[in-house]
Amino acid sequence: MGLLRFEIILDNPQGIYYAGYPVVGNVHIDVDSPKKVRGIEIRYKGEAKVRWKPEGGNQIRKANETYLDIKCIIFGDGENEFEIPEGNHVFPFSWMLPAKIPCSFESIYGRVRYTIKAVVDRPWKCDHVVKVPFTVVPILDLNTEPHASDPIEEKNHKTFWGHSEPLHMSVSIPVRGYVPGQNVPIKAKLNNMSGVDVEKLRVVMKKLVTFYAAGDSRMRKEVIQDFEVNVVEGQDLVLINLKLPSLPPSGLQYCRLIDIDYKLKVEARVEGWYNKNLKVRTGILIGTIPLLTYQVPQHTGPTSALGFGETFSTPSAPNREEPQRETFVFPTEMEEYSSSLPKCTYEKCLNYKASKREKDESPGEDSDGDSDEEIASSFDPKYTVYDFEPVRPEN
């Protein structure tokens, strides 16, 4: 039978690590008879890849960026023959990740992925190879971001056909920076002098991912949340809680090929098919350590919906499988925050559809549909998600 088992087992079964910390594990090999090898090698690799085909063009845009490419021999020397005796064998390995590397990220036109590959170098025969991906978790401290604590207030107005007076709407949010699991309290004020009824407010959150290659760029807009809130006739204030799911942080620090931004839109949907809706847009920051001066964390279990009257809405989650939740462990340099932070977990980031399908995106392939198999192969990194109590927007 030969090789009965050849497997990489990481010390962290979740496969989650922080930049600047070691990746530790073991290679398990089980053979039913002695085997000749030149060595067993571990290869650590971390890289960004982007690839897309411009609309109307034939030349594919692509680029690579390498953050980690290390080879270590953990048995033998790679040149002379050594014998692995019959039985079970465990070969430990450990390597320190660089401190300044981007977090794991996956999308249709690009990715940042980290892998560990074990290779059994056999003389005059095909090598045995096994590979596992792992997640590098980001740290983006909103307390160090200069504009994360700034309040948001955006205004817009519109005059409709056949009416002389406008509809005004202002959107207020207490701070700009939030973390996954936290609720974004949105306050929308209406001053309607137009005589056109506002029937609903539509709230849309998008993730804007920009890919760079060969002096060109491409943006993909993904819809994270899209829901409506009813507006009662004459109502001039609508309070909404938008809960953030598992998401990568803004910016994708240390990666020059991919950038991430988040946008919010509140749209006043008015009566009459001939009328265009009034829209207010703004941007928010997504981090991994919450603003400690904004919201007092609640050291409790899972959050529950809070409601008050008809003016408050917490949208229900889409009909998807509940994301896998796993225990959070702080790295040592974050211990100063650990007593102030709420309970945390790691959760997979869901695959979101593009707000507008591109011609090179086939139906049903929003998450993985790419002509490059290397880019499209499936891996789901996990990001930090906190348990926060919902925040009531203030009147």
* pLDDT tens digits, one per residue of 146-166: 999 999 999 999 998 878 899
Q: Fold match between 3-137 and 142-386? A: yes
Q: How many Cα atoms sit within 13 Å of 332 on the Cβ side?
A: 3
Q: Write out the DSSP string of 3-69.
A: EEEEEEEESSTT-EEETTSEEEEEEEEEESS-EEESEEEEEEEEEEEEEE--TT--SPEEEEEEEEE
Which residue did the predictor score with more confidence, 81 or 98? Answer: 98
pLDDT tens-digit series, residues 277-295: 999 999 999 999 899 888 7
5-14, 162-171, 183-192, 354-363: least confidently modelled range: 354-363
Average pLDDT on 339-345 reads: 75
- Domain boundaries 142-386, CATH class: mainly beta
State the chain's mean pLDDT as an integer.
Answer: 82
Instruction: Report how far residue 76's alpha carbon sits from residue 208's, in angstroms, rounded to the nearest whole number.
Output: 48
Nearest to 190 by CA among 150, 233, 228: 233
* pLDDT tens profile 365-379: 333 333 343 444 578
Residues near 350 by Cβ (< 8 Å), separated by ≥ 6?
A: 245, 246, 320, 323
* Residue 90 clears pLDDT 80, i.e. is over it: yes
* C-beta separation of 73 from 41 below 8 A: yes
Check pLDDT > 60 for residue 49.
yes
Question: What tokens were used for 138?
Answer: 């980001």
List the domain boundaries for the chain: 3-137, 142-386
Residue 57 has pLDDT above 50, yes or no: yes
Q: Which residue from 316, 288, 296 is spatially nearest to 388, judged by alpha carbons?
A: 296
- Cβ atoms of 168 and 157 closer than 8 Å: yes
Residue 220: strand pairing partners? 209
How far, in Å, are 60, 131, 171, 308 from residue 108 at the CA level? 14, 22, 32, 40
* Encoded tokens for 222: 């993904």
Just give the CATH number of 3-137.
2.60.40.640
The tokens for 16 are 């989650």
Q: What is the pLDDT of residue 369?
A: 38
